[in-house]
Amino acid sequence: MANIGEWILSGTGLTTVLSTGLNSLANNTMSAASSTYDNSANLDLYVDIEVVLASLSPAAGAFVAIYVWEAVDGSNFPAQSDADLRLTSSQLLVAIPIGTTAATAQRVVARNILLPPAKIQFKLDNQAGVALGASGNTVKVLPYSYNLNA
C-alpha cells in the first residue's frame, strides 16, 4: 500500500515573532526586525502567518506586508534600508489586505507560505493608511511540513 501524506506541525508551535515593536507604528513605516527565527534545524516547509492589529480605521486599499531577512551564511543578515527592502521583491514573504471597517480590530491569516530553510528575521511594513494602535498588535507564525510516512 502506498504511503499517505499528512500535515505535521512543527515542534515550535505557534510563535510570536513581532509584538511591542508594532505599537504605534506609523503608516508607510517598517517595524524593526524580529528576533532571529531559526528554521535551519526544523526545516519546516510552510508557515501560516497571523497578524492581529488593535482597533484602527484603515484607508482604502490598506494592507500590511511581511518581509524576511535571511542570513544565508547562518549569521549575517542584510543591511538594507526599508526603502531598499521594499524594492527587493524576493524578500517579500506576503502582502495581506486588511479590512477598512472603521475603528475595529483586525485578525487576518495568510496560509501556506513557503518558509526558507534558514535563520530569518521578520519585518512588518504598515501600509494601512494610519498608524497602528498603541498596544495589542502581533505577528505570529505557525510552521508545518508534511509527512510522507504517515
CATH number of 16-145: 2.60.120
Task: Choose among 109, 114, 123, 120: nearest CA to 52.
Answer: 109
Encode pLDDT of 30-59 as tens digits: 999 999 999 998 899 999 999 999 999 999
Domain assignments of the chain as residue spans, ordered by start:
16-145
Q: For 63-112, what is each residue's pLDDT tens digit?
A: 999 999 999 999 999 888 889 888 888 899 999 999 887 788 999 999 99
DSSP 143: E
Q: What angle do CA 135, 141, 147 make, to 5 degrees?
A: 165
pTM value?
Answer: 0.91
